[in-house]
Structure 1
């Protein structure tokens, strides 16, 4: 079992391919997780991406994109399973909270950027007749 475990989900009203494209840029990873070194272990395209994690934490991280055709978008599932690196004692409660917040920052940045210009409750542009 990992000391740091985060599981979260966010709905984004765009196709999985658009989220996958936005998620595929390593420069963004360094902004979202500046103290982590990520190595892609499985690029699943419109289904998401899996990484090996090194740096401040050691373990795995994944974004899984689950299509939701009835509402024309995807659920972005975020998973982080890691251990703190190094010999310094870590407050695991604080660390878990910070890592959950970092996951939400990533998800909502993607959501805001990809849904820009769409009013709440309005069908996504890709789903309009």
Structure 2
């Protein structure tokens, strides 16, 4: 049950943070989540739902209701989450633990080393 719950948390994070991104960008968001969790399955959900860490979890009414099973973006997010958790996909972010959409300029971005840009997201790791 822990494994399936962790995959669900990761899939929700990929879906809400990157569903409109190319597949590589979705994998990158998933691996940032895993990097924060130190690649430990039991830490995935606590990382996803930690206060003020991912934009979609900051809403008063969270969006953690499972999307429609017929939604292709949701199907892809689930598939990618499963592959990431099972070690089939590696970290494509060079160790990033943070990212942001290009539409925002978070205060913290200058305190980290930019590792890459994929789609509409910039990824960062500790210096």
Q: Scaled by the length of structure 2, what TM-score is found?
A: 0.27
More helix by share: 2
Q: Scaled by the length of structure 1, what TM-score is found?
A: 0.27
Query: Which one has a bigger Cα radius of gyration?
Result: 1
More strand by share: 1
Bigger RCO (CA 8 Å, 6+ sep): 1
